[in-house]
Amino acid sequence: MQRARSHWKALAAAAATGVALSAAAVAMPAQAQQRENEIHFPMVRSAAATNAGCLPNAAADVEVKSLGPVEKMRVRVKGLPAHTDFDFFVIQVPNAPFGMSWYQGDIETDGHGRGTGVFVGRFNIETFIVAPDTAPAPVVHDQPTPDAASNPPTGPVHTYHLGLWFNSPADAAAAGCPNTVTPFNGEHNAGIQVLSTRNAADDQGPLRQLQP
């Protein structure tokens, strides 16, 4: 009987621990949840969209898996306008002025306002941009946001946040958002930011959590 009681006490303790861990995970939705060589976290409606009162159901779910020398990032968006193009960036901070920003690619929504983007690169605690000194840069676009002819020198700057932008100000306006022009697409004539990881602190972007 004593052995049976000990067995049931152990099971109860394990169950209580599991409940406590689950509660902790729910209590910290802004933090990336880490498993072995993998993190999972949400993106939320951007400050621009929230302040404008548009896209109330916009959200995204992000999963990053380490493949050793690179990571694979899968971004699933929902609550966006149907059949619309968006531009996805890795950024320094989640809100304007965004800091250093790295264009990853596009996500196009289906007829239900859902879409998926898969990107391969370095998306972990080592993600950074560096410019040891000034160097010439190609000028491809002169409007609406002209290309810089050279870079400013900077030490290593870590970029742990994510952002998604309307590819077109006209698409943003059609969705009831401001038609502000931003440089966040390949032609530098994008619309406003739609989603971001602003649910995490500026210096604690979700990519920082992956330490493979």
What does the DSSP 8-state code read for residue 208?
G
Place of tokens 């960036």: 89
- The pLDDT assigned to 24 comes to 37
Contacts by 140-148 with C-beta closer than 8 Å and gap 24+?
141/187, 141/188, 144/181, 144/188, 144/189, 145/181, 145/182, 145/183, 145/188, 145/189, 147/188
Examine the pLDDT at 147 and tell me if it is beyond 80. Answer: yes
- The pLDDT assigned to 13 comes to 45
Residues belonging to the chain: 212
Average pLDDT score, the chain: 88
The stretch 11-24 carries a mean pLDDT of 40
Assess contact for 25 and 41: CB atoms under 8 A: no
Burial class (CB in 10 A: 0-12, 13-18, 19+), 85: middle
What's the chain's Rg over C-alpha atoms? 21
197 token code pair:
């990881």
**In whole angstroms, what is the distance from residue 179 CA to residue 165 CA?**
12
**In whole angstroms, what is the distance from residue 126 CA to residue 103 CA?**
17
The stretch 20-42 carries a mean pLDDT of 61
- The pLDDT assigned to 212 comes to 82
Amino acid at 11: L
CA triple 195-91-190, angle to 5 deg: 60
135 token code pair:
């160097």
- Tens of pLDDT, residues 102-112: 999 999 999 99
- pTM, to two decimals: 0.84
- The pLDDT assigned to 174 comes to 98
Dihedral sign for Cα 177, 181, 186, 187, please. positive
> Residue 11 — very low, low, confident or very high, per pLDDT cuts 50/70/90?
very low
Amino acid at 96: A
Contacts by 31-34 with C-beta closer than 8 Å and gap 24+?
31/200, 31/204, 31/206, 31/209, 32/200, 32/206, 32/207, 32/209, 32/210, 34/209, 34/210
> What is the domain class of 32-209 according to CATH?
mainly beta
3-state secondary structure of 104: strand
Examine the pLDDT at 177 and tell me if it is beyond 50. Answer: yes
Determine which helix (DSSP H) or strand (DSSP E) holds 52, and give its type and residue range.
Answer: helix 47-52
